[in-house]
Amino acid sequence: MDEREALVSGQNPFVAVLSCSDSRIAPEYAFDTARGDLFAIRVAGNFVTDEGLASIEYGVAVLGAPLILVLGHESCGAIEAGIKAVKDHTVFPGHIPKLTDALKSSVETVLKQPGDLVENATVQNVKNSVERLKKATPLLTDALGKGNLKIVGGIYRLATGKVELIA
């Protein structure tokens, strides 16, 4: 029986991944996973939206995924836009301000820190997303409390294809 046939009747992914929409980041490839392994939620800037949280809750509470990974990445255009919105007061067209608004607090937290602002904001955004998920009542907090769930954060390095865990 091939992989697709086996998955017609159900799925039990071992990880729910919240990653950026960036076309260079394909979480299924980054982890060499097959169909049925990885439950993916993607939004530019990999931050937690209410709808994304609902998807993650489904992945954990219904499908039984024991792990959530928030995956940021290098050279993230969403993070760069978030920085422009804060530093230069750039107002982007259409609905893009929804995205830059969501990244604002991460950018502001690291604005005066030494080092590379894009890198620092990317790391901060992953940490903030991990924290938000850890506090998401009742489903994720329940699973965490029972020891059925781990929530971690990582940064995908474009040049090496490796994921560095940071939270």
Which residues contribute to the site for Zn ion (CB under 5 A)?
Answer: 20, 22, 76, 78
Taking the complex as a whole, how short is the minimal distance between the CB of residue 82 and Zn ion, in angstroms?
A: 10
126 and 44 in contact (C-beta within 8 Å)? no
- Compute the least distance from the CB of residue 43 to Zn ion, in Å: 9
CB-nearer residue toward Zn ion: 77 or 138: 77
Closest separation in Å from C-beta 10 to Zn ion: 31
Residue 159: CB atoms within 10 A of its CB come to 7
- For the bound state, the minimum distance from the C-beta of residue 122 to Zn ion, rounded and expressed in Å, comes to 8
CA distances from 122 to 75, 95, 101, 143, 165 (A): 9, 21, 15, 27, 13
Which residues lie closer than 8 Å to 106 by C-beta, 6 or more apart? 47, 82, 121, 124, 125, 128
Would you say 1 or 159 has its CB closer to Zn ion?
159
Say how many C-beta atoms besides its own lie within 10 A of residue 83's C-beta. Answer: 23
Nearer residue to Zn ion within complex by CB, 122 or 149: 122
Which residue's CB is nearer to Zn ion, number 39 or number 47?
Answer: 47
Structure tokens at 34: 């097959």
